[in-house]
Amino acid sequence: MKKPIILTGFMGTGKTAVGEQLSQKLGCPFLDTDVMVEKATGKTIPEIFEKQGEPAFRELEKKMLKKALENEMIVISTGGGAVMDSDNRTLMKEKGFIIALSASPEVILERVSQVDNRPMLKMADKEGKKDQQEKLEKIKNLLSKRSPFYREANKIVDTTSKKIEETVAEILKIVS
């Protein structure tokens, strides 16, 4: 495939891990728009959300997506909310082949609970079952808003019960 492969999907669906391995198998570069934003600003995503707000982050994300799509053969991982911007969706459809990764809300919660850099899931109460239940509800709420846009992808790959290698193998079959 001569056009960029763009991985979209909710946080915790495996976009970065899958993207890194996929790019290695295809022998092409890998870019993560979140990492690009952090390098360009010298700030972490949570810092940008906290100090400048989500709209400022989304503008930076849009610039990095445009920059990443200047490459022909590349694998790109987007932030989970990148699909909410109609300009981003149009650009991704014009320039690339979009694969949305999906997973169940429960698996997403399990995966993202391992890290504390998810600004969309920050909660005042950091401990206990109540917090986990609140996070699960937040995930379900965000998923319901974003899912229609994820479904616009060329293909959807469910990673709920798959290892990274299995997801990569499935994508390789799709793109070859």
Q: Enumerate domains of the chain plus CATH numbers.
A: 5-175 (3.40.50.300)
**What does pTM read for this prediction?**
0.90
First to last CA, the chain: 7
Q: Measure the CA angle with vertex 42, ends 77 and 29; round to 5°.
A: 30
SS3 category, 126: coil
Per-residue tens of pLDDT for the chain, all 176 residues: 689 999 999 999 999 999 999 999 999 999 999 999 999 999 999 899 889 998 999 999 999 999 999 988 999 999 999 999 999 999 999 999 999 999 999 999 998 886 655 555 554 344 445 578 888 999 999 999 999 999 999 999 999 999 999 999 999 999 98
Do 76 and 9 touch, CB atoms closer than 8 A?
no
- Phi/psi zone of residue 12: left (φ > 0), alpha (ψ -120 to 50 degrees), beta? left
What distance in Å separates the CA atoms of residue 147 and residue 158, rounded to the nearest whole number? Answer: 13
- Phi/psi zone of residue 77: left (φ > 0), alpha (ψ -120 to 50 degrees), beta? beta
